[in-house]
Amino acid sequence: MKIAVVGLGAVGGLMAAKLAAAGHEVSALARGATLAAVRERGLRLTMGGQQSTAKINATDDAAALGPQDLVIAALKGPALAAAAASMQPLLGAHSVVMPAMNGVPWWFLQVAPAGVALADRALASVDPGDRIGALLPLKRIVGCVVHLTCASPEPGLIEHGFGDRLIVGEPAGSSSGRTSARVDTIAVALREAGFTTEASTDIRRDIWYKLWGNMTMNPVSALTGAESHHIIDDPLVLQFMLGTMEEARQIGAQIGCAITQSGEERMAVARQLGAFKTSMLQDSLAGRPLEIDALVSAVHEIGSRLSIPMPNIGALLGLTRLMARERGLYPV
């Protein structure tokens, strides 16, 4: 496949390096120090104690790359609107865009079940003014959920942590129980690259399930500076997180994303992963903008429109947003 990765951070760099090693024609849109580093030394990946280098065509000019079969948007939420405009030359008649991002995507309510009592299916918290939706229409999108950890300690260098699971699926799901041809093609390419990849018939539920854990652990880690094991080991913090998760579970039940697992079971899974720095904590420590909106603001927006009480989600959003604004990591 002809694949362009937009955003060579930790996740984007990992996907680009592994897809290139599998023989796909991989290019990337990058800028600044990352672009300079990849051009000079290639895209370096440390995994399993070994380092490899992928030679990919990195540029800051999408027009130089032309239309692609697949465009992987591996960005933080705040960067997507600008990137959606800059990536337009990558999009031909049949190009597919696959965001590999955390949280609630802009299209999430557009394909919610007909019975969901929301007259307005837009999400202003993640796509104010429908800028992204206009540039990346739903027909182009394949959803993706990333279950792995990695970091980029310096431009052009990716360090894999643990996990290799990806889930891909059509935004609207499938009532037939069968996945689409383009989802199957993408899943095969990702498997060939060494990812444990599932083709899902209900990607919205997969997205909400990951969010259910991420929307608490990420902001709490950024607020406290604590790694995951210290967060879970504090009984008062854990109780707050479980209350927040229960509110999110109630929201999910009303938008076609029911969760049957308990919060305690989900936190037990997180505990088994050992100590790690969440992506939001890494961004906070590095002074990068925090993706609060896709992880918390969108959930709060949906819950508010459904009139679901959310004292914990509201507190988490307010505290995290205020901390980030005071540090210049979230717009006023």
- At residue 119, the pLDDT reads 80
Q: Rounded to whole angstroms, how far apart are CA atoms 42 and 329?
A: 30
CATH topology of domain 2-201: Rossmann fold (3.40.50)
Q: Which residues participate in catalysis according to the annotation?
A: 210
Is the per-residue pLDDT at 261 higher than 90? yes
Q: Which helix or strand (DSSP H or E) is residue 15 part of?
A: helix 10-21
Q: Dihedrals φ, ψ of 58, to 5°?
A: -105, 135
Predicted confidence at residue 17, as pLDDT, reads 98
Percent of the chain scoring above 90 in pLDDT: 90
Upper half-sphere CA count for residue 326 (Cβ side, 13 Å): 7
For 153-190, b/e burial (b = at least 16 CB within 10 A) is eebbbbbbeeebebbbbbbbbbeeeebeebbebbbebb
Output the pLDDT for position 176.
85
Closest CA to 103 of 82, 85, 80, 84: 80
pLDDT at 211: 97
Q: pLDDT tier at 309 (50, 70, 90 boundaries)? A: very high
Which pLDDT band holds residue 152 (cuts at 50, 70, 90)?
very high
Class of domain 205-326: mainly alpha
> What are the extents of the domains in the chain?
2-201, 205-326
0.85 surpassed by pTM: yes
Using DSSP bridges, classify how beta strands 150-154 and 157-160 pair: parallel, antiparallel or unpaired. antiparallel
Residue-level pLDDT at 302: 97
Closest CA to 78 of 106, 55, 54: 106
Q: Could you tell me the sign of the dihedral formed by the alpha carbons of 18, 170, 210, 224, in that order?
A: positive
Q: Which residues pair with 99 in a beta bridge?
A: 73
Q: What confidence tier does 208 reach under pLDDT thresholds 50, 70, 90?
A: very high
End-to-end alpha-carbon separation of the chain, Å?
42
Instruction: State pLDDT tens for residues 66-122.
Output: 999 999 999 988 899 999 999 999 999 999 999 999 999 999 999 999 888 888 899
